[in-house]
Amino acid sequence: MHSRPVLPVHRRVGRAMSRPSGSGRGRRRGDQRRPRSRSNQGRSLVGQEFEVEIGPVAHGGHCVARHEGRVLFVRHALPGERVIARVTDGGDKSSFLRADAVRVLEASDERVDDGCPFAGPGKCGGCDWQHTTAAYQRDLKTAVVREQLQRLAGIEWNGQVQAVPGDDDGAGWRTRVEFTISGGGRLGLRGHRSHDIIKIDNCRIAHPLIGQVGLYQERFKPGLSGLDVAVTSENEVIAVELPLESGDEIPVLGEVVAANGREHEFEVSARGFWQIHPGATTTFVEHVLSKLAPVEGEKVLDLYCGVGLFSAFFADVVGAPNVLGVEGSEPAVEQAHANVPGASFIAGDVREQLDFLEAEADLVVLDPPRTGAGREVIEAIAARAPRAVAYVACDPAALARDLAYASEVGYAPTSIEAFDAFPMTHHVETIAILEPR
């Protein structure tokens, strides 16, 4: 990887935009979902407190506990602890309850002071694991990936979630943040599964340049609902005020990625899809290239290609005319054309495009959204009989389901590795290499 000089910090805030937007697949975010109304919950138990022993970690940033036979998914706890859990969602007819650990009676040896005044029960929902170390968080994520692969795909995985270079022991890594604006015009973040705005004056996982340019101290004008902030690989801080108005154009950023002895610059929308950990792009590209080992002249199919990250580096090896990318966002495809001259890109639904595309594929790369690729896409890939497939997944459950579909059509993983590209949260990136059995 080439070293690059640290450039002066630049800051652009507002609506003075010069190019059209490219939304990509939509940014991967912390999945701050809203509570769903369930008519069959019965009498609400919200606010009730139970003393429980905390069991194993579960997918979603919580641990499993039981009280009088009922399952509780408890946030802000760690396996082996005894806590007072306060119910945050569910009733006496619910199949499970959600709860927060509001008091720790017996703490795990892995518990630490989270160091963030905005994390904890009833506070910001952006982080799940600030109450333990980055190393133990990777152990928890490892357990989740193992459980999902075994339960949903019947795969026994003995790997370990790996750290990604570029964060400060789990902090300061997030280069794209979606802030809300409080009634007082200050930056805020949403509470967990809530519309509540938690006012903040710093964010532990956000890139430190966001604070250095003064955004936390700024008072924004009335009428704004949010601020999307991006820190580029060139250390420029770009902020887009929300809501967008008619005629607003979203800025296009320049992101530089060095991998496999080469360097590429990519155009990408400030609100489009891009890996948010500064070390993720290089780590993932180099891993996929090393595992697939492309050779000159091979045909590469890049599905959910975004603005062409993988396409660019594969084109260096196989030749740009041998690369075909498919992406749902037309603006992202326009940027992919600019980013990877000579390669071909198609805008459209991946499943629908695979139904009639006659393109050959020696190698396939797919990086689908959190919901996964699905059975039909996996079957369409297998029908092309590629010699190898790289599946880049941001959700281990979706990956496991798709690996089960792949097994039905004759493809099995030869390698599964997981990366901690989202420290302090429950999210984890997993890359599976599939080959025909």
- What residues are labeled active site? 394
- Residues 339/267, Cβ–Cβ less than 8 Å: yes
φ, ψ of residue 425 to 5 degrees: the values are: -110, 175
- Annotated binding residue 275: yes
> Would you tell me how many other CB atoms lie within 10 Å of the CB of residue 71?
16
CA–CA separation, 227 vs 222, rounded Å?
13
Cross-strand bridge partners of residue 52: 83
CA–CA separation, 83 vs 99, rounded Å?
11
- Residues 178/228, Cβ–Cβ less than 8 Å: yes
> How far, in Å, are 265, 287, 322, 344, 356 from residue 296 at the CA level?
22, 18, 9, 17, 26
Q: Tokens 């005629």: give the residue.
A: 247
- Annotated binding residue 130: no
Cross-strand bridge partners of residue 257: 264
* Pairing between β-strand 323-327 and β-strand 344-347 as defined by DSSP bridges: parallel
SS3 content of the chain, % helix, strand, coil (to 5): 20, 30, 45
- Annotated binding residue 249: no
CA–CA separation, 210 vs 239, rounded Å?
10
Q: What amino acid occupies position 43? A: R
φ, ψ of residue 60 to 5 degrees: the values are: 125, 5
- Annotated binding residue 234: no
φ, ψ of residue 318 to 5 degrees: the values are: -90, -15
Question: DSSP character for 205?
Answer: T
φ, ψ of residue 396 to 5 degrees: the values are: -65, -30
3-class DSSP state of 49? strand
> How far, in Å, are 18, 249, 322, 348, 358 from residue 329 at the CA level?
19, 16, 21, 7, 21
Strand (E) positions, 157-311?
162-163, 176-181, 187-190, 197-199, 226-231, 236-242, 252-259, 262-269, 300-303
- Residues 110/132, Cβ–Cβ less than 8 Å: yes
- Residues 370/392, Cβ–Cβ less than 8 Å: no
Handedness of CA 265, 269, 275, 277 (dihedral sign): positive
Binding residues for S-adenosyl-L-methionine: 275, 304, 327, 367
